[in-house]
Amino acid sequence: MKKLDQDWKATARTLSEALPYLQRYDGAIVVIKLGGHAMSSEEALNSFARDIVLMKQVGMNPVIVHGGGPMINEMLAKLDIKSDFVNGKRVSDKAVVEVVEMVLSGKINKSIVQAINNQGGKAVGLSGKDANLMVCEFDNLELGFVGKPVEMHPEVLKTFFASDNIPVVAPLGTGRKGETFNVNADTAAGAIAAALKADRLLLLTDVAGVKDSEGDVVTQLTAKQVKKLIKENIIAGGMIPKTETALSAIKGGVRAVVILDGRVQNAVILELFTDHGAGTLIREA
């Protein structure tokens, strides 16, 4: 009985300590890029969904942008469609883009929507093509229909903020001539966050955060420090595009970006509602 009593007290203390953060983020727009471990199992996805429903319940405005590379690879293999990569980006001809849209807007998007709904939320799935949310141009002709966002129309997302609904966005864009573009999920999340002037952009990944030259996670960085670490090759490999997305989002008006470990259960809640945090926070200064 004593152990149970201690657990209750610990839970009450945690809730009490969260109060300043709940007040701080009341009405805040938070864009979350979902990928990696958080999408790897039904259990992990349900845990993430529960966190998102909690955010909406306490007055925040979460917007989910998801990836789905492994699932796309699996479907392309089943259909015997070859897909190459150039500098980490998928070469996307028309056949590949059709599969990408089918997987992202169909199977993956609706599984996330269902997970949130199962936790008591009201999620709505859409893509960057809906209401011309994300208008794109060719990123690099060598890559085919891989898009870079050049014009954003976030009004459709703002309509969700006055309701109980939670938008879940597949990273597809539309071209000025009606093309469908495959957009990197981090890039899409950064562009959407900037268009909304979001309070936070959270990039869930499979590493603990940005590391220094000693291999230790840095809890806070300025934009200037990030550029220095990239120049010194301390930030390297797959972390470069994530930090570049962060810098672009901050330049576009996002207050801060957090690169956090999606393998940690309740990572989003730990980052937003505790002193401890769950990754590396990057801000202008």
Q: Is 139 a catalytic residue?
A: no
Other Cβ atoms closer than 10 A to 124: 16
Average pLDDT for the chain: 90
Q: Is 215 a catalytic residue?
A: no
Q: 273 pLDDT exceeds 80?
A: yes
Structure tokens at 4: 């149970």
Q: Is 144 a catalytic residue?
A: no
Q: 177 pLDDT exceeds 70?
A: yes
Degrees (nearest 5) of the Cα angle 52, 226, 51?
10
In CATH terms, the superfamily for domain 24-283 is Acetylglutamate kinase-like (3.40.1160.10)
Residue with tokens 């949130």: 116
Cβ-contact 27, 60 below 8 angstroms: yes
The catalytic position among 144, 147, 242, 261 is 242
Structure tokens at 112: 């996330």
Alpha-carbon span 68 to 36, nearest angstrom: 8
Structure tokens at 260: 């956090």
Segment holding 134, helix H or strand E: strand 134-138
What is the reported pLDDT for 5?
A: 61
What is the reported pLDDT for 89?
A: 77
What is the reported pLDDT for 69?
A: 83
Q: Is 59 a catalytic residue?
A: no
Structure tokens at 69: 């590379």
Q: What is the pTM of this model?
A: 0.91
Q: Is 279 a catalytic residue?
A: no
Other Cβ atoms closer than 10 A to 248: 17
Phi/psi for 34 (5° steps) reads: -100, 125
